[in-house]
Amino acid sequence: MRIIMPVEFSRIVRDVERLIAVEKYSLQGVVDGDKLLVVGFSEGSVNAYLYDGGETVKLNREPINSVLDPHYGVGRVILVRDVSKGAEQHALFKVNTSRPGEEQRLEAVKPMRILSGVDTGEAVVFTGATEDRVALYALDGGGLRELARLPGFGFVSDIRGDLIAGLGFFGGGRVSLFTSNLSSGGLRVFDSGEGSFSSASISPGMKVTAGLETAREARLVTVDPRDGSVEDLELPSKDFSSYRPTAITWLGYLPDGRLAVVARREGRSAVFIDGERVEAPQGNHGRVVLWRGKLVTSHTSLSTPPRIVSLPSGEPLLEGGLPEDLRRSIAGSRLVWVESFDGSRVPTYVLESGRAPTPGPTVVLVHGGPFAEDSDSWDTFAASLAAAGFHVVMPNYRGSTGYGEEWRLKIIGDPCGGELEDVSAAARWARESGLASELYIMGYSYGGYMTLCALTMKPGLFKAGVAGASVVDWEEMYELSDAAFRNFIEQLTGGSREIMRSRSPINHVDRIKEPLALIHPQNDSRTPLKPLLRLMGELLARGKTFEAHIIPDAGHAINTMEDAVKILLPAVFFLATQRERR
């Protein structure tokens, strides 16, 4: 066994800190007439900035979690801030764009889990979860009103006049479209019968334009909120239909009435205006706005931290610089298709390290969600592993978004089942293809759960594992959750107590044979700490090899550089230490 020398430890610390410190920007809209509203991971935390083409102006006094989506040109920004040391009890704050830093707390909104929201400049409409309900709220001159109770996770997409449109996970894992009325409230839910709705926006004609993701493709439809009728949307250009997307990640109407759409296929997106494709840098893109006569969006790739660019030139307007030595540590990326146990093909992104031999040490990095996707997008975890000399394999297991509803819904009623087989297949592919000399597994949130599933159900496949903010016991987690996450657990497990029990790693501790690192935020309200403390006791009682890192005063969402370092650094150092134990 070779012990990591201090100089190697110092390099890992330096590289992880530098990667976390790289400025990352996402575009939120146009406010204050003609300024871009940008949320950036900068200055050590998440902040809101105005960008006028020259300098950026910070709007908030203290770090934030997010902002509510603004209508074009409004003179204020609504900030969302955790006021519970990471437990995701959020408060709302208003700041006028003409007076940066002068925040006013919206006292009518008591702390709750804020899921989404839109600000019209006169009214704030948002969804929030408490222990006993998920609801749609409006805050305007008449005070705070509950417009409707929601059956599960719900997200406001758009407001036009009194019409509110949104999306929700209301049953069976599918995503429904809902509407409400700003004046009178109420709730109407629309299901297509053939798939899930994705992004939604209200057209000038007061119909809801939405993405509809079916078994293996995605298309654009209009929904008449009066009768729920659904029609395919015909666009002036055929570029969009020729692209044959499998996901629609964002859409919205520009001030001139044109429809902007961001669609995705095989982990990369394309931008369309009225169906015509706009040249854009390879990778992935966020919302699109019209700013001073040109199109602006956010852009990222596995080698490019999120930045703001103009289209079609791709000229960066706002970006953080990636140090050249760290850029070289990412040797390349590609998408491969891995055959799983039932003949399914698992779309898997591979990030090769410029600091590792081939074959070399390889980490299977499992994304959270599970309704999420690994794509050609920046991932600080993956970049840190590559800088530390690991190749990275990122499988889009069944349950992942971006590859059609049939693939996404395969996970319902089967957590720690088929998706674990997909992750295992990706690991075996890494070895059989000649990429991996030895295998490790790492994940955060649902990815941390996959680490625990792999070490309990697939002993011997991985040399060691890192489980961050992981699910440990579905039953206890259910009892500790608020209304939104109880509904999520019910949908994912099919409401089966037997599934919750049998698919909980706490009940299979005896099977763990490999070293395990546990990393968990103290105040996590999505995957609470209490079950993990019981797991630690079970591991200790059985003489298992493990280490544990509890991150004080932190929650599930990583919003500061300090928290990111405390979570990521022990993970990378643990894997680097295990790598040397041959």
CA dihedral 467, 470, 474, 479 (to 10 degrees): 140
CA 297 – CA 314 distance, rounded (Å): 9
Burial environment of residue 520 by CB neighbours within 10 A (0 to 12, 13 to 18, 19 or more)? buried
Burial 80-89 (b: 16+ CB within 10 A, else e): bbbebebbbb
CA 103 – CA 400 distance, rounded (Å): 38
3-state DSSP call for residue 137?
strand
- Torsion angles phi and psi, residue 428, rounded to 5: -65, -40
524 is catalytic: yes
The DSSP annotation for 425-472 comes to: HHHHHHHHTTSEEEEEEEEETHHHHHHHHHHHHSTTS-S-EEEES---
Two tokens, residue 29: 């809209």
Radius of gyration of the chain from Cα atoms? 23
Please pick, among 329, 377, 384, 445, the residue that the annotation labels catalytic. Answer: 445
Cβ-contact 212, 200 below 8 angstroms: no
Helix-then-strand count for the chain, H and E = 12, 37
556 is catalytic: yes
Longest dimension (CA), the chain: 70
549 is catalytic: no
Between helix 446-457 and helix 418-432 the angle, nearest 10°, is 80
Please pick, among 69, 158, 482, 524, the residue that the annotation labels catalytic. Answer: 524
**371-375 contact pairs (CB < 8 A, 24+):** 371/173, 371/399, 371/400, 371/401, 371/408, 372/400, 372/401, 372/446, 373/247, 373/267, 373/400, 373/401, 373/402, 373/403, 374/267, 374/348, 374/349, 374/400, 375/264, 375/267, 375/268, 375/284, 375/349, 375/402
Between helix 380-387 and helix 561-579 the angle, nearest 10°, is 40
CA 466 – CA 549 distance, rounded (Å): 11
Q: Determine the distance from the C-alpha atom of residue 384 to the mean position of all C-alpha atoms in its chain, rounded to a whole number.
A: 18
* Residue ranges of E strands in 83-153: 90-96, 103-105, 113-119, 124-129, 134-140, 143-150
Cβ-contact 272, 260 below 8 angstroms: yes
Of 64, 125, 61, which is closest to residue 91 (Cα–Cα)? 64
3-state DSSP call for residue 285?
strand
CA 518 – CA 527 distance, rounded (Å): 13
C-alpha separations of 207 from 120, 125, 177, 322, 356 in Å: 18, 19, 12, 43, 53
Of 497, 415, 499, 508, which is closest to residue 458 (Cα–Cα)? 508
Burial environment of residue 2 by CB neighbours within 10 A (0 to 12, 13 to 18, 19 or more)? exposed
Burial environment of residue 3 by CB neighbours within 10 A (0 to 12, 13 to 18, 19 or more)? exposed
Beta partners for 70? 119
Residues identified as active-site: 445, 524, 556
